[in-house]
Structures are given as structure tokens and as C-alpha cells.
Amino acid sequence: MILHSQILGEGKPFVVLHGFLGMSDNWKTLGTQFSEDGYEVHLLDLRNHGRSFHSDDFSYDFMVKDLEKYCEEKNLENIILLGHSMGGKVAMEYASKNPGNVERLIVVDISPRAYPPHHQDILNALDDLDFSKISTRQEAEEELSKSIKEVGVRLFLLKNLYRKSKDEFGLRINLPVLKDSMEVIGVSLSEDAIFPGKTLFINGGNSDYIREEDRELIKNHFPDARIETIQDAGHWVHAEQPEAFYEAVSSFLD
């Protein structure tokens, strides 16, 4: 099975990987901007996310194999590869295993280190949605607001809502598998993973996903990496400061 994607523009292949509980739609505005700069932008839905297939198998190894298969199917060579959060981990692993196929690597607000599970409250809130009683998106948001106070996070999660039928909503994510995969999401990059090519790490100034002590670890895995901080942005740096993010990526690619 091949990952679902949205392909924008023509030119050099530029592959974008969303984060945990995200989807290709999250990147459509920026993807359109990059396509206008002469790139063929591939916005992917990773397995168990968006419109891609559901599977009980879920790990970085499987996601890297999915990306290898996708690039092979679409004849993508010397790609620009960008990944946010979980997608950033996939991008790091892919680049280290396929260095000859990645011209530039961009990793957004994630480090190669391990992270403890920290999405349980969000997953539980999604699991608590009773679609037999919810008939509108507003009702779904009201339910989520009981446990998720940040409006931006609720709107991000509600992107996963779709109509299974005229009368019933459902979630695009494979929630049962993702709930069982919390340990998998946080694992560190493979110890021997090294990508020697040009790499940009972007972190949000208000986020603690990339810390000062991560810099040495980043350099060990990515010797030609630089780290750029975008101020007044948290973990969803590309959504919170899209102009500054676009400028940082464009400058790196130039």
C-alpha cells in the first residue's frame, strides 16, 4: 500500500511529513508557497493518519519503509525532506538510511533523543468522544474543551473529524493503535544513525522539544547541521509563525 499524498506544483521534489495526530492538510498553505517557488511538493499522510491506510504495525521502521516505497513509486530522487515532530523522527531515520536520496534535510522542533509519553490526555479525550451523541463539529469541540483548554490544540485535533455517513462522524486516525503506541513515538533515533548532508533544525523559542543539551547529540548524528530558533512560537512553530518559518526554510534551501 502506498501512502496518501497531496502533490502541489512542479520541479524539484520536496517531501513533507506531519507530526503525531496530524495530516497533510496541516501543511497545505506552506506547501502551496513552496510549490510556487519551483518545487514539486508532496504532502504525505503517514500510516494510521489522515487518508492513509490503517495498520496494527506502527513504528519508525515501518514509517521509513513506507517513505522508501513512496519515493520509489513516485520516482523521487535527491529530495528535500522536511518533517515535524514525529515526522521529523521519520525524516531523520530515512535520511540516515538513504543519504544518497536526500539533498537537504529539515527537522522541525524535535531532537534525536528519547521523549517520555506525553499525549495520553489528548488521546483519552479523543477516545471519550461519543459519536452517537455528536452531530456537529461544534458539539465535538465542546466535548474536547472539557479536558483540552487550548483552542489551537482542539482545532488541530478536529481536523481528524470526518463524516463516515450522513448521520455519523468518525476520526481519520487509527486511535486504538496510536493509543497503544505511545512508547514507540518517543524512542530515540537509532544510535548509529548518521546523515552527513546539509541539515536544518528549526525549533520554537517557547518550546522545550529541542534543548541546549541536545545540540551536541544533534551534531553527532548530523555533523553538517545548524539550529535556528523562531521566537514567539511553540511546538507548532510552522503554524504559529508561518512567515518566519517560510523565510528560514527558503534561506536554507537557497
Q: What is the pLDDT of residue 49?
A: 98
Average pLDDT over the chain, rounded to an integer = 96
Residue 182 in this model has a pLDDT that exceeds 90: no
Contact 189, 221 (CB under 8 A): yes
Confidence of residue 225 (pLDDT cuts 50, 70, 90): very high
Confidence of residue 130 (pLDDT cuts 50, 70, 90): very high
Confidence of residue 9 (pLDDT cuts 50, 70, 90): very high
Phi-psi region of 21 (alpha: psi -120 to 50; beta: other; left: phi over 0): left
Q: What is the pLDDT of residue 115?
A: 96
Total-model pTM: 0.96
Enter the DSSP assignment of 47.
T
Residue 15 in this model has a pLDDT that exceeds 90: yes
Going from the C-alpha of 41 to that of each of 12, 37, 52, the distances in angstroms are 8, 10, 17
Enter the DSSP assignment of 101.
G
Q: What is the pLDDT of residue 167?
A: 83
Give the catalytic positions in this structure.
85, 235
Q: Per-residue pLDDT tens for 17-53?
A: 999 999 999 999 999 999 999 999 999 999 999 999 9
Q: What domains are defined for the chain? A: 5-115+188-253 (3.40.50.1820), 120-179 (no CATH)
